[in-house]
Chain A
Amino acid sequence: MNAPSFLPPLASTVSPQPIPTNLFGNSSAVAVIALLHIQIATFITGSSFLLVVSESISMARNDERHERLAHTLVKGMAYVFGFGSALAILWVTWILLGMWGTFFVALGRITFWAFIFEAGLFVTEIVLLYALYANWERLRAYRRVRLGLAVLLAVALWWQQFMIDVVASYMLTPNGGDTNQLAQILNPTNLPLTVHRTVGNIAWAGAILAGMAGIRYLRARRRGAGAASETAFWDWAGVWGAVWAIGATLMQPWIGYSYAKDIQLHAYPSWYRMMFGDLSNVFLMQITLLGLIFILGTVYFWRRMRASETRGRRTQVLMLVVLVLATLLAATPARFASTYAEAAAADQLKPWWDGGLLNPIGTMIPNKIIALLAMMICGLVSVTSLLRAHSRGELHWGDATRGAQWLLVALTLTVSSMMIVMGVIREHSRQPFLVNGEMTIQGQKVVDPPPTNGVSPGSAP
């Protein structure tokens, strides 16, 4: 299925070349608006999942805390949805069409159906979200309807994310310029990116919830003894958000590694640039931030358990030590150790038990995998330890210290920073291409061979 024939007028309405301004300015505009939009959109997508979970628990167990949390999430999503949408429209109309006209028109024609679904889902989300927001109390008598709306909203948001993943992954691995719809959807990095983002969005929503709960807890504490129920609620919400943030991030090292593996297999220059080229230091920053997320989460859990004097908090200290070491190992620059090439040159490309260099201090990739595995296992033990204390009834809500709440805020900022760094890496890894191997940034021109199947981005007047 190719782009429909009724589209050409669109191409003639926009600038075929970049507006005469500097490339740095254009790129910066994209970066600022896009990253801001992505942070909001991913929060809304992840929050819809947490909304469904909380509303389900609240119905099943008649839990007022979860009902209040679900309502808070709906309000939060509704408040930022408008701003996020305005940013998206600004991004499309001013930045993409105005500054990157040729590229966006070409991309719009290739991924036409993905954009159409995207727009349709956008309208669906407006209806569902504002129906929930405006009728939350009225629907109290119809809990199943309310849950149904929340589920539909989550499904719509996930599909919208999937559609934009089709576009984003196609820009990185465009299957040699094959514009067939199925080829776009089944491009090699679409599913890994979708899985990565689905899990990441939940972690991000959990982190935002944790940070917000931390701030609200501090405000409630400032009001004094009269706000005991408020402190108890926000203390609980902070733990709940942090558990989702760390719990979902537990899977990300392996998923991210799988994603990187697919980039290595299908867009090797981009992968090389990320791992060994000029982006490798930025990638080290990313891996450091990942370790920091686990470290902050563990310190928070430890302090939270200490405040309630629960059993098992020493486990957190042990995990913290291992996590710090794992982060240092994961963030070791490649030049600190021998590479495969160096090991081969020294005729030492053998396993360590055969006297070779392929051992934990010999090559980098095994080191990093060990570090990532350690992060996953330690993070899992850390979250489990906290939940075990909770299941024993040893956590008393409202006991948390002020310092622990600042840790939650730091966790939110760290996750946010990591998302920005990831965005920078992904966008820069394709350079000098906008669509990898097909269209360059400088001229927005199509390089040989151009996309086939009747769609020629370079043919725009």
Chain B
Amino acid sequence: MLRFLSRPVTTRTRSAYRWFDERTGSTELLHKGLYEAVPEKGGWAYTLGSATLVLILLQLFTGIFLLLVYTPSFSDAFPGLDYLRRSDRFGSWVRGMHLWGAYVLIFVIGLHMLRTFLSASYKRPRELNWVTGALLFFLVLGLAITGAMLPMDQAGYWTLVVVTNIPHYIPFIGDGVRHLWRGGDFVGQASLTRTFAIHIWVLPFLLFAFIGAHLYLLRRHGEFGSWVNYEVTGADPDKELAERIVRAEPPYPTRRIERMWAVPRRTVDFFPDQLFKDTVISVLLIAVIFVFGYLVGAPLSEKADPATLSYVPTPEWFYLPLDQVLVLSPQTYLVFVGAFALVGAGALAFILLPFLDRSRDRAPLRRPEVLLPGLFLAAMLVLLTVLGASRLYSL
């Protein structure tokens, strides 16, 4: 020990690292993490995935901070957050970051899925990347809506009332599901406790499990990127493809159309090229969240009043399309059709997209059977959001 301590600092550090590396394989792990080939074109678009991960981690950290002051109780939840608003500027800022982080996360993950959809990156062998990504998207939406219920201000309370009532419209089992979530026929302490547990344990557990699976699959198959990286440019396409296929990793494609998409024409290293872009975008997004979290913060209305007759609950912006569908569905079985059948079928089709899209091409304009319904749905989501916003915020 004395001999170790008597050596120069650099030698001691190197030696300590060697000891650590011998036992953990950290250098090999670092190499595997940093030296991955990424398609050359479209690098800025690929940053959305890593930005999503960074934003989820930010939500985790800010959420842990909030747990230090939040009590999941009908009587104590609101005062804790009200204390932050009135007396703890830093705590209020962290709460603002948690809210704006959620907004930016939903926006970025939506863009990430749109990019993946347009470039058909979900095709063989990356079908499960898409499935796990789509499930992650829904988990994030679930986290966002359960989080909105927790403050126990008017907005949070009535969101809890409205959202836990939605399962009621499912025929046969609806009332049972509502009873299970609420812990009774009406919203009460059990409803808040269960929603809190869903928000901080159930959904995050699933979220990080799927993130692990998503990252594993990403490293196994590599980044597909975009179709522009795979076009054959030479006079002899067969020779060019044969030269490229040498660099392919398992599973080896067998059909010609797949050989074409197996290996990109040119690649760059993840480190430093792609990592630099990822860092720039992530830092920018975090800066936006910091600024909005500080300047705008997170709203907190009056303390929840279950007896009020005048409060009109308004959903978060990312639920406006669903809210608009509910508003437009007459109070009959069509609520079930609008809220569950249509939305459920759309969500299922979204998750199972790689198995529904059997087109061989990857350029978006060459697969209109997928592009057109996708753009139609995207346009409807935007339009319903605008129309919902108009209904809620018009004077």
A192 touches B387 (CB 8 A): yes
B368 touches A262 (CB 8 A): no
Judge if A363 is at the interface, Cβ distance under 8 Å.
yes
Given contacts A187-B395, A191-B394, A258-B324, contact A351 B333 (CB under 8 A): yes
When chains A and B are docked, how far (Å) is the Cα of A187 from the Cα of B391? 10
Please give me the residue from chain B that is nearest to A363 by CB atom.
B332
A:172-209 near B, CB below 8 Å:
175, 178, 182-183, 186-188, 190-192, 195, 199
B:357-389 near A, CB below 8 Å:
361, 365-369, 372-373, 376, 379-380, 383-384, 386-387, 389
B386 touches A195 (CB 8 A): yes
Judge if B163 is at the interface, Cβ distance under 8 Å.
no
Contact of B395 among A178, A262, A366, A383 (CB under 8 A): A178
A384 touches B333 (CB 8 A): no
List chain A residues, Cβ under 8 A from B379. Answer: 251
**DSSP majority for the B interface?**
helix
Contact of B365 among A178, A353, A380, A391 (CB under 8 A): A391
List chain A residues, Cβ under 8 A from B310. Answer: none
Please give me the residue from chain B that is nearest to A384 by CB atom.
B372
Judge if B390 is at the interface, Cβ distance under 8 Å.
yes
List chain A residues, Cβ under 8 A from B395. Answer: 175, 178, 182-183, 186-188
Contact of B171 among A191, A353, A380, A390 (CB under 8 A): A353
When chains A and B are docked, how far (Å) is the Cα of A52 from the Cα of B369? 24
Q: How many residues from A make CB contacts under 8 Å with B?
A: 40
A359 touches B333 (CB 8 A): yes
List chain A residues, Cβ under 8 A from B369. Answer: 384-385, 387-388
A257 touches B332 (CB 8 A): no
The residue in B383, B389, B390, B391 that gathers the most chain A C-beta atoms within 10 A of its C-beta is B390
Given contacts A195-B383, A366-B334, contact A188 B394 (CB under 8 A): yes
A:326-355 near B, CB below 8 Å:
351-353
When chains A and B are docked, how far (Å) is the Cα of A265 from the Cα of B324? 14
Judge if A419 is at the interface, Cβ distance under 8 Å.
no
When chains A and B are docked, how far (Å) is the Cα of A195 from the Cα of B394? 15
Judge if B393 is at the interface, Cβ distance under 8 Å.
yes
Contact of B328 among A257, A363, A383 (CB under 8 A): A257
B367 touches A391 (CB 8 A): yes
Judge if A51 is at the interface, Cβ distance under 8 Å.
no
List chain B residues, Cβ under 8 A from A369. Answer: 328-330, 334
- Can you pick out 14 interface pairs between chain A and chain B where the beta carbons lie within 8 Å of each other? A183-B395, A186-B393, A188-B395, A191-B386, A191-B394, A251-B380, A254-B383, A265-B391, A359-B333, A369-B328, A384-B369, A385-B369, A387-B368, A388-B368
Binding site for A on B (CB under 8 A): 171, 324, 327-330, 332-334, 342, 361, 365-369, 372-373, 376, 379-380, 383-384, 386-387, 389-391, 393-395
Top 3 A-B pairs, shortest CB-CB distance: A191-B390, A387-B368, A358-B332
